Amino acid sequence: MVSEILETLQLKPGDAVADLTLGHGGHTEYFLVEVGPTGTVLAMDLDGSQAELTRQRLESLKLVDGLKIELGNFAGLGQAMGKHGLVTVNGILADLGISSMQIDDPSRGFSYRREGPLDMRMDASRGESAKDILDRISPEDLATGLEEYGDVPLASPFSRALLAQHHASPFETTTQLAEFCLKWHQGSTTGKPAGDWKLRTGKQKWETHPAARVFQALRILVNRELANLKHLLRVVPDLLAPGGTVAILSFHSGEDRMVKAAFEQGLRQGRYSAISDGPQRAGFDERNDNPRSRSAKLRWAKLAESHPVDAGDEA
């Protein structure tokens, strides 16, 4: 949704913009062109494994003037801005999806289609892996996570079955878990024989793989993504320049609900002068070319030129 994002942010030469998920630099590349050599693009990423390769790619395109790369969680945007001498920025983009580089690297354990260790950590140097979480989580807590973070149907019986299988014969790889998800779904909810699932079921019709929502929920649990998003939404109005815009690209209903609620609250309080009427979706051509964009929802909010001081600020 590059064109939609650029239209939303309306960047100008000399502007400062924060791209909170550097990845392969897809959005960053366009931002560097928009703000020009006199502008600044602060690109953040929790996963530092590809940052240098991305910097080299942008350098080969002669697009490094004004580029500042900061490794860390986007919840620390304020600190990162201060480190690079930025008090406010004119635009902020938070793409909450996982990058293609991470999905396509089997060793990271994000993809249910490629065999790899059951890991899913954005920062592989710290924290619990997905397998670690399955080792110690209760069926009740897992079901809650699957419902809230993945909208997984029949989360309670599925969680009990998954953990019973895991404790009897631990899932060590992504494909082991994906195979279990497929067989359980087809045997318990659709009656279809294993192997009958298809991604494309007709024109403009796609069917989600039974493992996709489970992997998404586990990834969010592993990386505490919603807690980080909650913090970001709270501090964004203090980091935008007057009239600046924040755009957030989310990929599941829990994220989208949080973004919608925060933007609506900011509008009521007078902190935002305008917000998107509803989520923008990727067009058919993009969804057809890139199935990962099917669930993408883009929302934006524009900071008021001036906003009232709330009770918390006065305190």
Helix intervals (H) in the chain = 2-9, 26-35, 51-60, 77-83, 100-104, 130-136, 139-150, 155-168, 174-185, 210-223, 225-239, 253-268, 284-289, 311-314
CB 95 within 8 A of CB 247: no
- Cα–Cα distances (Å) from 150 to 208, 221, 223, 252, 255, in that order, read 12, 10, 14, 7, 10
- Split at pLDDT 50, 70, 90, the class of 257 is very high
The CB-side HSE value for 221 (13 A sphere, CA atoms) comes to: 26
Other residues' Cβ atoms within 10 Å of the Cβ of residue 220: 24
Give the residue range(s) of CATH 1.10.150.170 domains in the chain. 111-223
Other residues' Cβ atoms within 10 Å of the Cβ of residue 21: 22
Give the residue range(s) of CATH 3.40.50.150 domains in the chain. 2-95+226-314
Q: Would you state the pLDDT for residue 115?
A: 94
Angle at 198 between CA 197 and CA 201, to 5 degrees: 125
pLDDT tens per residue across span 147-193: 988 889 899 999 999 999 999 999 999 999 999 999 888 776 554 44
C-alpha to C-alpha distance for 254 and 233, rounded to whole angstroms: 14
Domain 111-223 class, CATH top level: mainly alpha
Angle at 177 between CA 174 and CA 180, to 5 degrees: 150
Q: What pTM was estimated for this model as a whole?
A: 0.79
- Answer CATH for 2-95+226-314 from 3.10.180.10, 3.40.50.720, 3.20.20.70, 3.40.50.150: 3.40.50.150
Which residue from 119, 43, 26 is spatially nearest to 77, judged by alpha carbons? Answer: 43
pLDDT tens per residue across span 81-139: 999 999 999 999 999 877 666 777 888 898 998 999 999 998 888 889 999 999 999 99
Six token digits for residue 138: 């209760």
C-alpha to C-alpha distance for 112 and 118, rounded to whole angstroms: 10
Which carries the bigger pLDDT value, residue 306 or residue 268? 268
